[in-house]
Amino acid sequence: MPATLIALGVYGWACVDDPDLSDTGDDGKAGDTGGPDSGGEDTTAASTGGPTSAGSASTTGGSADVTARDVLESIALRVIVPTTASFQSTTGELRDVVAQYAAAVDENHLAAGVELAAAQDAWQAAMGVWQRLEVMQIGPAAPASSAIAGGNMRDEIYSWPTVDTCSVDRRLVAEDYENPDFFVTQLVMAYGLDAL
């Protein structure tokens, strides 16, 4: 399947120079505030499920006055941005592996089994990250009709449940993917991770 069938737009919400993003826990993952004593649990006052009162202290030495903006910013910088960065990385690898598979098929389609398996593994890795992003349909990923700054990018990348395998087959047979305006003229069900 031609690599051009993948319309993998990667979106970002913020670029912030935040030294706290370098926090790592036992597993070495950025943004993990769980240290060796915490068992991986966040022990800040904001994680207790209720508002903090002015003047109380968090167990990690941070500010006791946690606002909704602080929580949302933390989610953006510690969850959304790293997950989109991971998706960008895995889709870059997917693009390269699918291109290798396409080249192997062109050379000898009967001997491209190794490349096919690698492409399938790369697709599964990208879909694994995308499934985490499915619950983060905000900003450019969200529908333009119902979200602030919505850009409908989610459907461009993965249109499920709006899928049509016959449409994908028709586009492949007609080689419509060769047209420069393919992604403008075709419906989202003809490309993206689900089509791949």
How does pLDDT run across 5-23, given as a tens digit for each residue? 333 333 333 333 344 444 4
41-73 pLDDT tens trace: 444 444 444 444 444 444 455 567 999 999 999
Give how far the C-alpha of residue 96 lies from the chain's centroid of Cα atoms, to the nearest Å: 17
How confident is the model at residue 139, as a pLDDT?
86
* Distance between CA atoms of residues 148 and 137, nearest Å: 11
CB neighbours (10 Å) of residue 148? 8
pLDDT at position 181 over 80? yes
Average pLDDT, integer, range 167-181: 93
pLDDT band of 154, cuts 50, 70, 90: very high
Report the C-alpha gap between 77 and 84 in whole angstroms: 11
149 or 40, higher pLDDT = 149
Answer whether 94's CB lies under 8 Å from 126's CB.
yes
Percent of the chain with pLDDT over 70: 68
Q: What does pLDDT average to over the chain?
A: 77
Say what the pTM is: 0.64
Give 39's pLDDT tier (boundaries 50, 70, 90). Answer: very low
Structural tokens at position 119: 């492409």
